[in-house]
Chain A
Amino acid sequence: QVQFVQSGAEVKKPGASVKVSCKASGYNFDGYAIYWVRQAPGHKLEWMAWIHCGNGNTRYSAKSQGRLTITSDTSANTVYLELASLRSEDTGVYFCARDAAGRGDSWGQGTPVTVSS
């Protein structure tokens, strides 16, 4: 069965970087894309970045582009999201999801990231 296991909670200071991971299992990793979604406390879901795990193509939201890097490691069936120059407003829960013909049909459990001095 399709499953995603995300890395654990992170606490970072403003200006630092954070890298969260999403390990996939139960399907052909190369055949799908994965995207990341963020939810700040009390806020709506915010789409952030996308990567096709087969060809490495990427897309980023305009809001975070420049600070975001999404990568995939096909040998480890894992996708990573790195966010640089962290600000307090980057605090939230980060979710990965499989992109199946446009829809997010399977989601990770979420990784809480706290940015605080």
Chain B
Amino acid sequence: DAKTTQPTSMDCAEGRAANLPCNHSTISGNEYVYWYRQIHSQGPQYIIHGLKNNETNEMASLIITEDRKSSTLILPHATLRDTAVYYCIVSSGGSNYKLTFGKGTLLTVNP
């Protein structure tokens, strides 16, 4: 699976959009981009995933560049409860689906 690079930490004001970047320059054609988050002391939570096209669900939007070498997770209106570590993961999925978690980005939403 391709390696990802994320900033160690970011801050965001409550009510503003939070844009979390991820670089995955070695991604291959069959690999998906996944985003998870982990609120302090809880288990990780799935947010969204995508292959080529931009994706949106009730939690967030995922923007993938045309060359697929980077992506951005967007939380449109961040709240204090969105303070968490956000993990960007690249995986080909498949029948033995495994995830490799890096260190992620600590997003702190400030009042």
The answer to whether A binds B is no
Contacts from B to A (Cβ < 8 Å): none
Contacts from A to B (Cβ < 8 Å): none
